[in-house]
Amino acid sequence: MPEREIAEQKMSYRQAVREAMREAMNRDDRVYLMGEDVGLYGGCFNVSEGMLEEFGKERIIDTPLSESGFTGCGIGAALGGMRPIVEIMTVNFSLLASDQIINTAAILLHMSGGQFNVPIVIRMATGGGKQLAAQHSRSLEGWYSHIPGLKILTPATVEDARGMLWPALEDPDPVLIFENTTLYNFEEAAPVNGTQVDITSAKVRREGSHVSIITYGIGLHKSLKAAEMLSADGIEAEVIDLRVLRPLDNQTIFESVRKTHRAVIVDEGWKSVGLSAELSARITENLFYELDCPVERVCAAEVPAPYAGHLEKASLPQPENIVETVRQLGGIYG
Amino acid sequence: MADSKTETKSREVNAQLKSGKRKQAGSGKDNARLMHHLLAQMIRIRRLEEKSYELYTREKIRGFLHLYDGQEAVAVGVMEVLEREDAVIAAYREHGQALAKGVSMNSIMAEMYGKTTGCSGGRGGSMHLYDKETNFFGGSAIVANGLPMAVGLAQAYKMQKRSSLACCFFGDGAVGEGEFHESMNLASLWELPVLFVCENNLYSMGMPFELAEAETDLLKKAASYRVEGERVDGMDVTAVLEAARKAVDYIRSESKPWFLECQTYRFRAHSMFDPERYRDKSEVKEWKKRDPIKMFSERLMDEGLLDEKQLADIESQAQQEVEESVGYAEESSDEPIETLSRYVYSDMKNSE
Ligand SMILES: Cc1ncc(C[n+]2csc(CCOP(=O)(O)OP(=O)(O)O)c2C)c(N)n1
Ligand SMILES: [Mg+2]
């Protein structure tokens, strides 16, 4: 294979996902895309626009509304030697496929004593912030990351949207990729041909010495904004993008907290019994004596997403809340 | 983990079936051999189930245990026309299907004992038998959960231009689940080689079939998805075999799904925790008159295709196999607790 040139190009998150799928399908004919409205409609978020024309209906498969049926079908096809990308419109609808995801994909390897791994990739949109109300605005990636056997990816940058799919397809086990709907239009320069990013580690997206803000997905962008605001105040926040919610990369998180001695977790999921609680527990269990103050959390309010714009905004973590939380950390003005 | 004896036999019989020899064989030697084989397969299952019951009461087998007594003709008849490469996806009452597909009795018994030598390494138990070698894909205890998997395996086979099919077994209860309807629709819509085998034993736990379904004519349901099918006496192994052969011929030549309803009856309780309040003992007694093993062996004797000695041989072989499997399971070792977190991810490093 000739050396690829690594040229950078400004592209949207949406385009990045599309390019990733196109590349994967060109590279490996076992890969195909299946989901509701992925073909004729071009994807409900326009992600797969043009792919039906490019790859044909054998490989870009429009499914009826049968989340459980076509997700389970993807599992079977993966067992049969294919490498399906199953697109579920949004995480909210994935609940109808949760039997297949949780009762089959996540545990088949185990139940079969190691005989049947399930190399499936399931992509779905997630998150709120678009006034779509309670049934269309959930962030359940943390909830899925409770399940042993699943790998949970949350690309927050265009580079990750572009690069995470291929290693996910190469992974022998089921990988769920959560794309925050508010990120699809986000543009950034990213390698045109996709670089090989890993799907195992968290990344420091901004260095700082006073506090570690640990987040993922859309929370990364809000946290980076907060970090800029804090910087004007003389507080330098380190921002960690988890990237992978399961298995969590303890090392990167701990290294950062060891340096800053303070941690704030930003998660658009609910606070109670969720991902942020897990992160807080891990930090406290492992780094209790390194901490200058208690771990704080900025999460979604404990309500279903309201429709009214001002209420929804108030229900989700905003940069201002993050700034406020950091400012109140013990000793932060040192 | 396949039992080599049974497997060779199955293969020979399959070859006969495919070449059409079996049909002409009529009263010939080949036919007698096939008949003996079918009978032996059913008897193997029955003896395994009886032993499992006994071992459960002795607390050697724990957890949930769902026995297949009474339904043997379905698994044996259908499996006889499948190839090794065809996928079988079953539910939690699947010892019979596993055995008939060629999973060894030793590994099934060891699985129920929770031993490392079990066909699922002791991680699955009675409800989760898996065997890659024989393309036996479980073993799912979520009602109707295996049907979409069958659709997907068939989709993969079609995409790869392989001639294999996927055969899923499920109960009458599964028909109420959305996954049944979604799977039938997808398989038909996409013209996938799936054999849907519904074992209608008239109850889903304690729920009588006619109280569960507004439309009890399952062929109408199939037809509503434009899936062709047939209803067959699931207590008659040769009737099942013929129906399955017709189904498989259709699936392979048309690349379309087929729905086979096998009318059958479970002789034992739903599981080991079932007081059976929902059915009359007389009903069970009535159905036991149609015991697939009894009926078939009597018929063969009437037709002069089986004598007492041959039957006794089949019985003693099955008995011996069962005893051996118990010995095997007893002697097999437990998995060390150190490897508990194995099999969560293919790469063990990722277990956190
Ligand atoms: C989705 C789901 N709901 C309920 C159960 C509990 N349950 C286990 S078996 C069963 C009855 C299923 O009956 P059927 O499909 O007819 O199979 P049979 O037991 O007759 O072989 C029920 C309700 C389950 N395992 N899965
Ligand atoms: Mg039933």
| Residue A149 with chain B: CB contacts under 8 Å | 344-345
Nearest CB to A69 within list B119, B139, B179 = B179
Alpha-carbon B312 to chain mean position: 24
d(CA B70, CA A155): 53
CA distance A85 to chain B (A): 13
For chain A, say whether B186 makes contact (Cβ under 8 Å): yes
Q: Which residue blocks in chain B are alpha helix, DSSP H?
A: 4-19, 21-25, 29-57, 72-79, 95-101, 105-112, 147-159, 178-189, 209-212, 218-224, 237-254, 281-288, 292-302, 308-331
pTM of the model: 0.94
pLDDT of residue B20: 46
d(CA B312, CA B304): 15
Q: Do A8-191 and A203-327 share a fold? A: yes
Helix, strand, coil percentages, rounded to 5, for chain A: 40, 20, 40
Which residue from A minimizes the CA distance to B142?
A: A103
Q: Which residue has the higher pLDDT, A331 or B97?
A: B97
Confidence of residue A9 (pLDDT cuts 50, 70, 90): confident
CA distances (Å), A254 to each of A145, A259, B177, in order? 19, 8, 46
For chain B, say whether A144 makes contact (Cβ under 8 Å): no
Are the C-beta atoms of A140 and A194 separated by less than 8 Å?
A: no
Query: What residue segments make up the domains of chain B, in order of their start?
Result: 5-10+26-331
Which residue from B minimizes the CA distance to A248?
A: B352
List the catalytic residues of A: 67, 136
pLDDT of residue A190: 84
Closest CA to A201 of A238, A167, A162: A167
Which of B343, B346, B347 is the best substitution to test chain A (most A C-beta atoms within 10 A)?
B343
Confidence of residue A325 (pLDDT cuts 50, 70, 90): very high
Q: Which residue has the higher pLDDT, A220 or B348?
A: A220
Q: How far is the CA of B173 from the centre of ligand 1 (A)?
A: 6
Interchain contact, B145 vs A74, CB within 8 Å: no
CA distance B346 to chain A (A): 7
Closest residue to atom 19 of ligand 1, CA basis: B204
For chain A, say whether B282 makes contact (Cβ under 8 Å): no
Residue B222's contacts (CB-CB under 8 Å, 6 or more residues apart) are B184, B196, B228, B229, B259
Strand pairing report for B194-200 and B207-208? unpaired
Residue A4 pLDDT > 70 = no
CA distances (Å), B260 to each of A255, B165, B195, B214, in order? 60, 14, 7, 19
Pick the CATH number of A8-191 from 3.40.50.11750, 3.40.390.10, 3.40.50.150, 3.40.50.970: 3.40.50.970
CATH architecture for the domain at A203-327: 3-Layer(aba) Sandwich (3.40)
Q: What's the pLDDT tens digit per position in A136-169?
A: 999 999 999 999 999 999 999 999 999 999 999 9
Helix axis angle, B72-79 relative to B292-302, nearest 10°?
Answer: 60
pLDDT of residue A192: 73
For chain B, say whether A35 makes contact (Cβ under 8 Å): no
Q: Mean pLDDT of successive 10-residue segments in chain B (352 residues)? A: 47 50 59 97 98 98 98 98 98 98 98 98 98 97 98 98 98 98 98 98 98 98 98 98 98 97 98 94 97 98 97 98 98 97 82 52
Q: Which residue has the higher pLDDT, A7 or A189?
A: A189
Query: What residue segments make up the domains of chain A, in order of their start?
Result: 8-191, 203-327
Lining ligand 1 with CB less than 6 A are B 93, 141-143, 171-174, 201, 203-205, 266, 270
Tokens linked to B141: 């205890």
Nearest CB to A111 within list B130, B132, B149 = B130
> What number is the average pLDDT over the span A283-308?
97
Q: How far is the CA of B271 from the centre of ligand 2 (A)?
A: 12
ipTM of model = 0.95
d(CA A241, CA B221): 50
B5-10+26-331 has which CATH code?
Answer: 3.40.50.970
d(CA B134, CA B100): 10
pLDDT of residue B1: 43
Interchain contact, B119 vs A63, CB within 8 Å: no
pLDDT of residue B25: 44
Q: What's the pLDDT tens digit per position in A97-125?
A: 999 999 999 999 999 999 999 999 999 99
Q: What's the pLDDT tens digit per position in A27-68?
A: 999 999 999 999 999 999 999 999 999 999 999 999 999 999
Strand pairing report for A203-206 and A237-241? antiparallel
Interchain contact, A76 vs B160, CB within 8 Å: no
Mean of per-residue pLDDT scores for chain A:
96
SS (H, E, C) A236-294: CEEEEECCEEECCCHHHHHHHHHHHCCEEEEEEEECCCCHHHHHHHHHHHHHHHHCCCC
